[in-house]
């Protein structure tokens, strides 16, 4: 296994950052904002919107999908780039 290079680290950091922002950070923001925890607007019996989520669910979903897309692009990059040759030299030891 080779050491991760700058592209490996950038892809991992960007995808993890996007997904963690969409799932964890915005989830904590929703919890701190208080009720309602519903991703859709809540209406009363008359059909009026009485409560909406603080962060639009489309934004959260978009961030997670963008993180997955970065991982997909990274996987495609790794498929088309050639594997580096092993540069480790092995020392031969005679058998006893």
SS (H, E, C) the chain: CCCCCHHHHHHHHHHHHHHHHHHHHHHHHHHHHCCCCCCCCEECCCCCEEECCCCCHHHHHHHHHHHHHHHHHHHHHHHHCCCCCCCCCCCCCCCC
pLDDT digits (tens, 9 = 90+) for 19-44: 999 999 999 998 898 877 777 778 88
Mean pLDDT of the chain: 87
State how beta strands 49-51 and 42-43 pair: antiparallel
Residue 69 has pLDDT above 90, yes or no: yes
Position 1 scores a pLDDT of 56
Q: Give this prediction's pTM.
A: 0.75
Q: What is the mean pLDDT of residues 54-61?
A: 90
With both helix axes pointing from N to C terminus, report the angle between 26-33 and 57-80 in degrees, rounded to the nearest 10.
Answer: 170
pLDDT digits (tens, 9 = 90+) for 7-16: 999 999 999 9
Residue 89 has pLDDT above 80, yes or no: no
Ramachandran angles phi, psi of 42, nearest 5°: -95, 135
């Amino acid at each position: 296994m080779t050491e991760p290079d700058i592209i490996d680290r950038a892809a991992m950091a960007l995808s993890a950052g996007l997904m963690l922002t969409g799932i964890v950070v915005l989830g904590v923001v929703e919890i701190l904002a208080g009720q309602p925890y519903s991703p859709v607007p809540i209406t009363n019996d008359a059909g009026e919107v009485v409560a909406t989520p603080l962060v639009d669910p489309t934004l959260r979903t978009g961030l997670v999908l963008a993180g997955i897309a970065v991982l997909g692009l990274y996987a495609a990059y790794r498929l088309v780039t050639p594997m580096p040759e092993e540069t480790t030299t092995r020392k031969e030891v005679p058998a006893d």
